[in-house]
Amino acid sequence: MSKLYSGAEIVFKCLEEEGVNHIFGYPGGAVLPIYDELKNFKSIKHILVRHEQGAGHAAEGYARSSGKPGVVLVTSGPGATNAVTALTDAYMDSVPLVCISGQVPTHLIGTDAFQECDTTGITRPCTKHNWLVKDIKDLAKTMRKAFEVATSGRPGPVLVDIPKDIQFQKTSFVRHKKKIKLNGKTHNHFSQNNIDELVKLMNKASKPIFYTGGGVINSGPKASELLRELVRATGFPITTTLQGLGSYPADDNQFLGMLGMHGTYEANNAMYDCDLMINIGARFDDRITGKIDEFSPKSKKVHIDIDPSSINKNVKVDLAIVGDVKTVISSTLKHIKKTNLSFTRSNKQKISKWWEKIQKWRAKRSLDYIGSEETIKPQYAIERLYELTKDKDAYITTEVGQHQMWAAQHYKFNKPNRWMTSGGLGTMGYGLPAAVGVQVAHPKKLVIDIAGEASVLMTMQEMSTAVQYSLPIKIFILNNEYMGMVRQWQELLHDKNYSESYTAALPDFVKLAEAYGCVGIRAKTPEELDDKIIEMLNTDRPVIFDCMVDKQENCFPMIPSGKPHNQMLLGPKDQKNKKITGKGKTLV
Amino acid sequence: MANTKSAYSFAGKKQKFDTHIIVVWVDNEAGVLARVVGLFSGRGYNIESLAVAEVDQKLNISRITIVTTGTPQVIDQIKLQLKKLVPVHKVADFKREDKKVIFKEMALFKLVGNKNKLDKAFTACKKYNPVILDKTNKSKVIQITALRREIDNMTGNLKKFGLVSVSRTGAVAMTRGEKVFK
C-alpha cells in the first residue's frame, strides 16, 4: 500500500509539480487545512495580501512580468467573491491565473452554510473553466488540468473550488510528468497556403501597416524578437495596442506609437488609410476601432490570433491565420527568406511614398502639450520619470484613467513583459497590487506603479503587504484631485458638469506612507521634480510619491468614440491654431 | 448623430436574422448546461428552444440541441465560443431551411370533453403521428411529433375540442442519409 496524502498535501504536491514558487492569498475557515500544510513545502512561498482582490492582481502582475501562471489561494464565500474582479480582469486581458478557493464541506453545500457561496456559479462567466472537486480522487487530475487550461491556447484564469472535507480526506498520489491532452484545442490551425497568401499580400501592398497586440507578449519573448525581425525585413510601419507596448522598441523609427482612442495621430491615420492591415495578436477592441462601419475602409485585413473566436468577431477580415504568433511569424520569416530574397528591397521602394505620408502626420507631433513653469504637467512628470529610469530596465504597472494613457504615450517600452496595465476590464486599483506581484517575481528590479490618486486608494491597503515583504515598489501618483478621465469626459461631453468626479477629502499621501511604514515624497513644482524622483529611486524601500500635477490637463489626442480614426481631436495647441470653437464640439 | 454623449461606439446597421439549429456534444458533468446557456445569455444570443439528454452512457456524452436566431456573424461567434468551452467535444450547425436535416419536436395535449370532441381532436392530429397515451370517458392525452410551427397551429386548432393543457419539448435534429456529423 502506497503512502496516503491529504487533499491539502496533494494541492501543494501539484503546485510543486508545476514549478510554482509563489502563491498570493489570504487564509480563512474553509482553507485552513491547506494553510496548515504550507509549512511543509519550503519551495513555495506564500505572500499574505490585505484583500483577496489584491491577491488576484498581484498574481496577474507576477504572471505578466514572468510569463509563469499566477497562483491565488482564497477562502470560501467573501474570499472567493473578492477575487472575482481580478479573475474578470485576467479573463479580459488573457492572463494565466490559477485560483484555488476553499469551500464549505460537501455535506453543507446548498444549505446556506457560514461563508458559503456558489463559487463555481459566480466565477463561471469570468474564468476559462472552473471545477468543484467533490471527490478526493479527482483532485490531482483537476489541479493538473487547471494549469493546463490556464496556460494553453489563449491564456486565462481558472478556478478550483475545494470543499474543506476534501482537503482533509486522504488518497494516494503519483507524480505525473506527462502533459494532459486537451481535445486538440491548443493547436495551430494554419497551413502553408495561409502563409503564402500573407506574403503575397505583403508583396502587393503599397500602404501596409502592422497592428500588434498583447498576443505577441503572451506568445513569449521569442515572439517579440521575431516580430522585430519581421518588421525590419519588410520595412513596414508598426503600431501597437495598449497591451502590445514593449513587443516592439518604442524608440525605433518604424514604430508609430500606440493606436486607438488615445493613440498617436500618425498611427490612427495610417490605420485609416492603409491598404493592408496585418493584425498580430490583437482583437479589434472598440477602443481601437472607433466607429466600426468606418474602420480602415480601404484595407485588406489579415488577422493572426490563437483564439479562433477572435476572428471576425468585431471586424470581418480577408485572411485569418489561427495559430500561435511565434509560430506564424517564424513561418512567415522563413518563407520570405527562402522564396523572396528580393522582396525586402523592391517592397521598400514601393512603400516609400507611404512613409512620406506618415512623416507628414508625424510632423503634427500629436503627443505635444503646453508646458508650464509653475505647475507640473502630468505628461512632463512621465517624461522625466522615463528619462531618469530608462537605463534601469524598469517594470511599470498602472491604475486606470488619464495617468494610464499618459504613461502609455510618454513612457517608452523597449522590451516585452515590462508593462502591466488593466486594458480590457479597466480596473481602477489594479496597479498597486500588480506592482507587488511584479516585485515578488523580480526582487532586484525597479518596479513603478504610475497611479492616479483616485485609483490607488481602491487598493491602498496592499502597501502593508509591500512593507511586510520589503518589496521596494514605487507608487508614483499623478495627483490632480479629480477622477481625471471622468472629469475629461464631463468637460468634453457633459457641459462641464463635474458630477461627483472631484475628491474633496484626500488623505495626505506622505503621512499615509509614513503610517504604512514606508517613505512618502511630495513634488509640487517642475523645478524640484527631478531631484525628488532621484530621491525616490535611491530609496531602497517602498515609496509613495505624491506628484501634484495640473488639475485641468486633458489627455490628447483623442478619438471621440463613435468616430472613425481620421477624425481625431488633437491637443489644445492644435485646437488654438485651427480655432476650433463651436464646431470642435460637434467633433466630440 | 443621435447621441454624441456615449463613450462607446454606436451600433452598426441592423442585419437579417437567420434561424439555426446548433447541436453540441458535451461531457455530461455538473454545471455543463449552465456553461452553455450562460454563454448564450452572457453574450446576448437568443435561445428559442433547447433540448438536452445524455446520449452515450458509457462515455457520458450529452447532446444539446439549441434553436437560435442571429446574423451570420453572430451564428459564427456562437459556434466558435461554444468550441472554446472545455467540456464541449463538437458543435454542429444547421440552417432551419436545410433539407438534409430532420427537425422534430414532441407535444403532449390533454383534452377534456365528450367523445365526439375527443374523436375530432384525434382526427385533427392525424398528420402528426398521434399516439393516445391515456384515455378516460371524459379525457385524452395525445402525443404528436411535428415541427414547431405545426405544433403552434395545432394548439390553436385543438382549443375548440377541449384542449386544457400543453407540454412540449425543444427541437431535436438528425441528418438524413448515412452520413454522420463528425
The tens digit of pLDDT for each residue in A488-527 reads: 999 988 899 999 999 999 999 999 999 999 999 999 999 9
- Count of other CB atoms within 10 angstroms of residue A268: 30
The tens digit of pLDDT for each residue in A144-155 reads: 999 999 999 999
Among B7, B8, B77, whose Cβ lies nearest the Cβ of A313? B77
Residue B139 backbone class (left: φ over 0; alpha: ψ -120 to 50; beta: rest): beta
Alpha carbon distances (Å) from B72 to A310, A316, B93: 15, 12, 11
Residue B156 confidence (pLDDT) above 80:
yes
**Rg, C-alpha atoms of chain A:** 25
Q: What is the mean pLDDT of residues A380-399?
A: 97
Q: Residues 336..375 of A with a Cβ closer than 8 Å to B: which? A: none
Question: Distance between CA atoms of A271 and A262, rounded to whole angstroms?
Answer: 14
The predicted structure's pLDDT at residue A493: 85
Question: Distance between CA atoms of A435 and A62, rounded to whole angstroms?
Answer: 8
Q: How far is A569 from chain B (nearest CA, A)?
A: 14
The predicted structure's pLDDT at residue A139: 98
Clarify whether A143 is annotated catalytic.
Answer: no
Compute the mean pLDDT over every residue in chain B, rounded to the nearest whole number: 92
The predicted structure's pLDDT at residue A575: 63
The tens digit of pLDDT for each residue in A292-303 reads: 888 999 999 999
Alpha carbon distances (Å) from A246 to A214, A237, A287, A412, A419: 10, 15, 19, 8, 7
User: Is residue B156 within 8 angstroms of chain A, CB to CB?
Assistant: no
Q: What is the mean pLDDT of residues A195-218?
A: 95
Question: Distance between CA atoms of B133 and B2, rounded to whole angstroms?
Answer: 58
Contact list, A125 vs chain B (CB under 8 Å): 38, 42
Nearest to A379 by CA among A419, A409, A341: A409
Which segments of chain B are extended strands (E)? 18-27, 49-56, 61-70, 88-95, 101-112, 131-135, 139-146, 163-168, 172-175
Residue A62 confidence (pLDDT) above 90:
yes
Chain pair A-B, CB pairs under 8 angstroms: 65
Contact list, B77 vs chain A (CB under 8 Å): 309, 312-313
The tens digit of pLDDT for each residue in A99-111 reads: 999 999 999 999 9
CA trace torsion A423, A427, A429, A433 (10° rounding) = -60
- Cβ–Cβ < 8 Å for A431, A450: yes
Question: Distance between CA atoms of B36 and B31, rounded to whole angstroms?
Answer: 9
**Rg, C-alpha atoms of chain B:** 20
Compute the mean pLDDT over every residue in chain A, rounded to the nearest whole number: 93
Contact list, B84 vs chain A (CB under 8 Å): 128, 185, 307-309
Buried b (16+ CB within 10 A) or exposed e, B81-93: bbbbbbbbeebbb
Alpha carbon distances (Å) from A231 to A236, A301, A578, B128: 6, 17, 35, 65
> Is the pTM higher than 0.90?
yes
Whose cell is 501596409? That residue is A208
Least confident of A280-284, A342-346, A421-425: A342-346
Question: Distance between CA atoms of A241 and A423, rounded to whole angstroms?
Answer: 10
Contact list, B72 vs chain A (CB under 8 Å): none
pLDDT band at A187 (very low <50, low <70, confident <90, very high): low
Question: Distance between CA atoms of B136 and B138, rounded to whole angstroms?
Answer: 5
Question: Distance between CA atoms of A523 and A108, rounded to whole angstroms?
Answer: 55
The tens digit of pLDDT for each residue in A5-45 reads: 999 999 999 999 999 999 999 999 999 999 999 999 999 99
User: Is residue B4 within 8 angstroms of chain A, CB to CB?
Assistant: yes
Residue A255 forms beta bridges with which residues? Answer: A238
Among B12, B76, B83, whose Cβ lies nearest the Cβ of A312? B76
Residue A372 confidence (pLDDT) above 80:
yes
Contact B4 A586 (CB under 8 A): yes
The predicted structure's pLDDT at residue B141: 97
pLDDT band at B6 (very low <50, low <70, confident <90, very high): low
**CB < 8 Å & 24+ apart, contacts of A37-41:** A37/A6, A37/A8, A37/A9, A37/A11, A37/A12, A38/A12, A40/A9, A40/A12, A41/A12, A41/A15, A41/A16
Question: Distance between CA atoms of A395 and B169, rounded to whole angstroms?
Answer: 57
Q: Is the model more confident about A308 or about B3? A: A308
Question: Distance between CA atoms of B169 and B104, rounded to whole angstroms?
Answer: 9
Amino acid letter for position A82: N
Residue A549 forms beta bridges with which residues? Answer: A376
Q: How far is B33 from chain A (nearest CA, A)?
A: 12
Residue A586 confidence (pLDDT) above 70:
no
Contact list, B89 vs chain A (CB under 8 Å): 183
Selected catalytic residue, list A37, A52, A383, A399: A52
User: Is residue B30 within 8 angstroms of chain A, CB to CB?
Assistant: yes
User: Is residue A289 within 8 angstroms of chain B, CB to CB?
Assistant: yes
User: Is residue A538 within 8 angstroms of chain B, CB to CB?
Assistant: no
The predicted structure's pLDDT at residue A341: 57
Which segments of A319-422 are extended strands (E)? 319-322, 395-398, 419-420
User: Is residue A146 within 8 angstroms of chain B, CB to CB?
Assistant: no
User: Is residue B11 within 8 angstroms of chain A, CB to CB?
Assistant: no
Reported ipTM: 0.89
3-state secondary structure A124-150: HHHCCEEEECCCHHHHHHHHHHHHHHH
What are the φ and ψ backbone dihedral angles of A221, each rounded to 5 degrees? -55, -30
Clarify whether A420 is annotated catalytic.
Answer: no
What are the φ and ψ backbone dihedral angles of A92, each rounded to 5 degrees? -65, -40
Q: Is the model more confident about A345 or about A165? A: A165
User: What is the DSSP-derived secondary structure letter of residue A30?
Assistant: G
| B180 CB-near residues (< 8 Å, 6+ apart) | none
- Cβ–Cβ < 8 Å for A337, A488: no
Question: Distance between CA atoms of A555 and A406, rounded to whole angstroms?
Answer: 7
- Cβ–Cβ < 8 Å for A323, A299: no
